[in-house]
Amino acid sequence: MAFWKNAALRTVRRGHMWISGDRIERDAETYQCGPLFVEWEVPEEVTHPWPIVLVHGGGYQGTEWLDTPDGRPGWAQRLVEAGYAVLVVDRPGQGRSPYHVETMGPMGPGFSYEHGRDIYFPTKYEGQHTQWPFARGDEAAMDEFIAGYGPLSADLAFSEDMEADRITKLLDRIGPSILLTHSASGPVGWLVADRRPGLVKGIVAVEPMGPPFAHIPNIGSLTWGLAAVPLSWEPPVASPEELRAATPACACLRLPGCRSSPSPPKPQPSPPPVDPLLSN
């Protein structure tokens, strides 16, 4: 029997669109750099005022919101069933948003099975895992999970700035929305809220990339605390060093170069665009 015969019938409207990238001139020809693919779905009756934009994590693609590796409905479907208009993006260079080295620069390393197991099934916590419905040795589910991964850009600042630009343009088109980010897209949510505070009605940040000032091997660092590129701060901050000096040691987990200073006021994102919800 075809597996889809067991899936529940739903009445929805659905479609897709593109947020185009930048035009790049190379060798007398014009190319596009970093388009954003957007898939949308809405229920027969929308019961909530603001759509939810789902932004996937690093190395993955928008499919992470559609289904689980073992075939259960994902967050996108559940949110549509709850009455939300839902938009799922593929960040530039991932999923259906193509990556061209000629315009976007070098890629970071690929995503191995060993790296995946180290992140999601760390040996030191064996026996304590509660978040994965399939067993550690379920190779079929692990195959399906790893299949969706691809390399990230090797330039974190470049990719964050580009992704924030594309999602900002998406909100310019669709209006006020809620951002639901995951992992590496966490900084992008802060950047979009900083650039369009009137259009971001809320941020749900699931396991956002961090901690502040973290270094991510092979791709870059969160130089500006919450992101790899500058945010607005109040009082104004001219350099990352000023930001580190005003950040309590506990906030940056005593990372090298951070120090606690009681005299400068603690910088806060300005203007405060939303009350974010962080989930680990």
Mean pLDDT, rounded, of the chain: 87
DSSP code of residue 11: -
Q: Which residues are catalytic?
A: 183
Strand, coil or helix: 227: coil
Angle between helices 113-120 and 139-147 (to 10 degrees): 110
Distance of CA 135 to the CA centre of its chain: 26
Closest CA to 203 of 229, 185, 215: 185
8 Å CB contact between 111 and 151: yes
- Residue-wise DSSP of 98-147: ---HHHH--B-----HHHHHHHHS-GGGTT---S-SS-TT-HHHHHHHHH
> pLDDT digits over 7-42, tens only?
788 889 999 999 999 999 999 999 999 999 999 999
This prediction has a pTM of 0.88
Query: Residue-wise pLDDT tens for the chain (280 aa)?
Result: 577 787 788 889 999 999 999 999 999 999 999 999 999 999 999 999 999 999 999 989 999 999 887 778 999 999 999 999 999 999 999 999 999 999 999 998 888 888 888 877 777 877 777 766 556 667 787 888 889 898 899 999 999 999 999 999 999 999 999 999 999 999 999 999 999 999 999 999 999 999 999 999 989 999 999 999 999 988 888 899 988 887 654 444 334 444 444 445 566 656 556 767 666 6
Whole-angstrom CA distances from 51 to 83, 180, 203, 242 are 10, 10, 12, 37
Residues in CB range of 133: below 8 A, 6 or more apart: 68, 70, 72
Q: Is 280 exposed, middle or buried (0-12, 13-18, 19+ CB in 10 A)?
A: exposed
Q: Is residue 176 a contact partner of residue 50, using CB atoms and an 8 Å limit?
A: yes
Instruction: Give the integer Cα–Cα distance in Å for 253 and 101.
Output: 35
- Domains in the chain (CATH in brackets) are 3-108+150-233+273-279 (3.40.50.1820), 112-148 (no CATH)
CB 66 within 8 A of CB 79: no
Q: pLDDT (tens digit, 9 = 90+) per residue, 107-137?
A: 988 888 888 888 777 778 777 777 665 566 6
* H or E stretch covering 177: strand 177-182
Q: Which of 213, 239, 241, 245 is nearest to 226 (CA)?
A: 213
Q: Report how far residue 249's alpha carbon sits from residue 259's, in angstroms, rounded to the nearest whole number.
A: 5
